[in-house]
Amino acid sequence: MKLTIGHLYPDLLNLYGDRGNIQCLMKRCQWRGIQAETIAYELNDKIDFSALDIVLLGGGSDREQMLVCEKLKEIRKDFKDYVEDNGVVIAICGGYQLLGNYYKTDQGTITGLELVDMYTEQGEGRLISNIILKSELFEMPVVGFENHGGRTYINDNKPLGKVLYGSGNDGKTGYEGVVYKNVIGTYLHGPLLPKNPQLADWLISHALKKKYGNDVELIPLDDSQEKEANAYICGRFLK
Ligand code: GLN
């Protein structure tokens, strides 16, 4: 079995080293004997979505998002077809905002990919915090760090989880992220997948099932250190 991961525009969207999430996906495949390769795309590269099994869209500053936005118009149709065909996507922070219809800032409005019916508007002050969620998708809480000026409104879509600590999508509703088909969008950046192996495996298993059929089972890995780290963070912030 083999998975190909497409990393979109790492030269612009790689805030807080989102690239580490790619390494985590590759390693968790390789440890199980699943071949994995990553194709990193620069702005002018042509993307053949039919060759990809997982797409990662990382975080970026408002300025970088503005630069990427023009390019998104060109790939929107192919990306939308990929998503509707149950392609797997993980979109983080700035990339998460770009999944939606638009991101309105003081400097202007950035048109999004319109892959998920949601939108983002810049609010007063930044939401910066450690964050913990309970997601229906996983047993363990999802832990991470958020730093965003945008407030995201996901309309009727499902959130990734309920905020147990931190701000989440808009600092008010108590929810974080979005799940649409095989797309996960979230504000949790930095080492999202190394810290949350269950989320990494969700992406891997959905990609494998789409490609090789529903009876593919992932071999469990020894995640005892990750579980300990997760318990430590929960103990520290959830009193
Ligand atoms: N520029 C966006 C915001 O501030 C996203 C930032 C990020 O990716 N950390 O809301």
CB 52 within 8 Å of CB 6 = yes
Q: Let me know the angle formed at the C-alpha of 155 by 166 and 10, rounded to the nearest 5 degrees.
A: 65
Q: Is 7 a known active-site residue?
A: no
Q: 148-177: per-residue pLDDT in tens?
A: 999 999 999 999 999 999 999 999 999 999
pLDDT value of position 103? 96
Q: Find all residues with CB under 8 Å of 127, minimum gap 6, and list them.
A: 146, 147, 148, 149, 151, 166, 167, 168, 171, 187
Distances from the Cα of 105 to the Cα of 101, 158, 211, 222, angstroms: 13, 25, 39, 43
Residue type, 222: D
pLDDT value of position 61? 87
Give the distance, in angstroms, between the CA of residue 35 and the centroid of all CA atoms in the same chain.
22
Identify the residues whose C-beta falls under 6 Å from ligand 1.
15, 59-62, 65, 93-94, 97, 147-150, 189
Question: Phi/psi class of residue 44: alpha, beta or left (left: φ > 0; alpha: ψ in -120 to 50)?
Answer: alpha
pLDDT value of position 13? 87
Residues in the chain with pLDDT < 50?
Answer: none
Q: Is 69 a known active-site residue?
A: no
CB 206 within 8 Å of CB 198 = no
pLDDT value of position 60? 85
Pairing of strands 2-8, 54-57: parallel
Of 56, 64, 65, the residue with max ligand 1 atoms within 8 A of its CB, to mutate for a pocket test, comes to 65
pLDDT value of position 19? 81
